[in-house]
Amino acid sequence: MAKKNAGVQVDSDSAYLFSDSGSCDFKMEYKFRLNKLVFICALFVVISMVYFGFFFSDKVCALSNFKSPSCSEVSLRTPTPEHVVKLLSLLSDPFNSKLPNPGLSYDEIIHENFQFDMNAHDVMVFLHIQKTGGTSFGRHLVQDLDLQRPCTCQKKRKRCYCFRPNRNENWLFSRYSIGWKCGLHADWTELSSCVDAELIKNEGDSVKRRYFYISLLREPISRYLSEFRHVQRGATWKNSRHWCGGRVATEQELPKCYPGVVWSDVTFDSFTSCPYNLANNRQTRMMADLALVGCYNTSSYSKEDRDQILLASAKKNLANMAFFALTEYQKIGQYVFEETFNLRFAVTFSQHNSTLSNAVLATLTKDQIEKIRRLNSLDIELYEFAKSLMFSRFNKLQMRDPQFEERWNHLGELPNKTEFNWDDAIDDETTKTTSDT
Ligand SMILES: *[C@@H]1O[C@H](CO)[C@@H](O)[C@H](O)[C@H]1NC(C)=O
Ligand SMILES: *[C@@H]1O[C@H](CO)[C@@H](O)[C@H](O)[C@H]1NC(C)=O
Ligand SMILES: *[C@@H]1O[C@H](CO)[C@@H](O)[C@H](O)[C@H]1NC(C)=O
């Protein structure tokens, strides 16, 4: 079994500058090993870009066009010198700052064959974005995987022990296994700076763990409406920490949208009118490295620049994830998960059409729908990106799978399925709760 250090990527601060991401081959991406020589080269490139940016701004465009056509649709806008200068300061001393550790990339898993090894020190980390169907998926993870040593679940605690076959050590970092140890619905920024520390605290640091990040995205309009309805039912997620840059966001940085404890009487129009509403572009924000834009303090960049950086970072992080799926494509998600991790589910994921969101949608005017689109324009772009990336991964996995037809027609059917009976103790979204879905 191939072994590899988890901390292989230093690129999170810088690569989005150069990153093409998407369906492009990530072999070309910046797998900077922790290696000062490479860092110096990177610094040199950045400095040259600054130089060109200042003195030959046209040439920067030429540089940015120097990429294969298939990549251009997902590429970043040309960075302006101002961006570059700021990035330079972010980059200045990565060896002394605490780098986020987002784990192994999909490419490393597929092309370099770093299979998820439950017997070794591999940990799956579930980034659960609100209202993307993560509750059902999280339950599948703890109760439906065909494992040598299944998770043992306790109804009352809504918690399971998901241990490795040979020792009592967690292989799954998620709400139903470990809990919200890095904060309620922790985002990429929180998880990548916390998971390793948390596991070291609980299980020691005698081993180097490898992390496999997984997540779900959902069509942004439906997701937004679903969040709106959930807030009306009393959800606030006010215990989310919004940790970034070594501290939680202040109240000045994240002003509240409502005076009381809950926002349950909110109308659609006041929900969409609050500029601080975290529902707006939630998926992009939760997938991005917020440290790149000065966290929740929006004063370092213009809104436009901030948005572009967040989107680029979100795309990059998503593309690096070991696995992601889209709520609208459950079956593909199941197949891609099983193939990527070489694990099997004992159930078939079911496709719930979002009847609730559709019902809300039907009550809205054209203008209101247009407003949701505007408020979630980054998420809409991220979702389109995710969709083509998902199909590309799916097609590649399918092509290398000689048993595809058989597998596809019998997803979720194990040769000898053991009936596991852990029912609906974990309720989906019927109750008033601040921590659901
Ligand atoms: C954001 O940072 C700037 C500069 O560091 C500071 O002056 C400003 O008060 C901060 N804004 C908020 C809302 O904290
Ligand atoms: C969901 O919608 C798709 C397409 O609109 C349809 O084919 C499918 O049967 C629906 N599934 C359920 C469970 O209603
Ligand atoms: C699994 O199923 C096969 C046939 O479907 C049967 O022959 C075998 O005994 C089963 N094994 C177990 C452990 O139940």
Q: Pick the catalytic residue: 121, 185, 230, 242? A: 185
Whether 245 is in the pocket of ligand 1, judged by its Cβ within 6 Å, is no
> Relative to the alpha carbon of 358, which ligand is closest?
2
Amino acid at residue number 339: E
Our separate counts of H helices and E strands in the chain read 17, 8
Nearest-angstrom CA–CA distance, 420 and 29 = 42
Nearest-angstrom CA–CA distance, 418 and 415 = 9
pLDDT at 295: 97
Distance 416 CA to ligand 3 centre (A): 6
Whether 251 is in the pocket of ligand 1, judged by its Cβ within 6 Å, is no
* Chain centroid offset of residue 57 CA: 34
Nearest-angstrom CA–CA distance, 3 and 30 = 20
Q: Which atom of ligand 3 lies closest to the CA of 416?
A: 1
Provide CB contacts within 8 A for 316, sequence distance 6+: 12, 15, 16, 19, 21
pTM: 0.74
Residue with structure tokens 């593309």? 319
Whether 297 is in the pocket of ligand 1, judged by its Cβ within 6 Å, is yes
Q: Is 185 a catalytic residue?
A: yes
pLDDT at 124: 97
Whether 353 is in the pocket of ligand 2, judged by its Cβ within 6 Å, is yes
pLDDT at 341: 93
Nearest-angstrom CA–CA distance, 385 and 21 = 10
C-alpha dist (Å) from residue 426 to 138, 159, 293, 348: 10, 9, 37, 19
Distance 296 CA to ligand 1 centre (A): 10
Distance 332 CA to ligand 2 centre (A): 15
Segments of the chain with pLDDT less than 50: 1-34, 52-80, 84-85, 88-97, 424-437
Neighbours of 276 (CB within 10 A): 11
List pLDDT tens digits, range 268-292. 999 999 999 999 999 999 999 999 9
